Amino acid sequence: MQAADELHLAQPGVTAQIRSLEESAGIALFDHIDQDAILEPVGATLLQYARKIYTIANELMILIVSFCIRR
């Protein structure tokens, strides 16, 4: 639920995207215990890279907007 809230998306959509990624890669990103989902080590690594990519993408958008404003 936390990921869905942060992304402003519905939980089923986030779950579907994660399952699709897991199936494509042939790996489990989470260990599902009862109703908890615990990140597997590979999931934690993916999360670190995803956060870096997100930060870089935001920085790039700010840079692009600043160039457009200067015109």
pTM check: above 0.85: no
Residue with tokens 């990140």: 39
How many domains is the chain built from? 1
54 to 7, 9, 57: CA distances (angstroms):
12, 16, 5
Retrieve residue 6's tokens.
Answer: 């942060």
**CATH code assigned at 30:** 1.10.10.10
Range of the domain at 62: 2-70
| Residues 40 and 29 sit within 8 Å (Cβ to Cβ) | yes
Task: Note the pLDDT tens digit of each residue in 2-47.
Answer: 766 776 778 888 889 999 999 999 999 999 888 888 999 999 999 9
- Radius of gyration (Cα) for the chain, nearest Å? 16
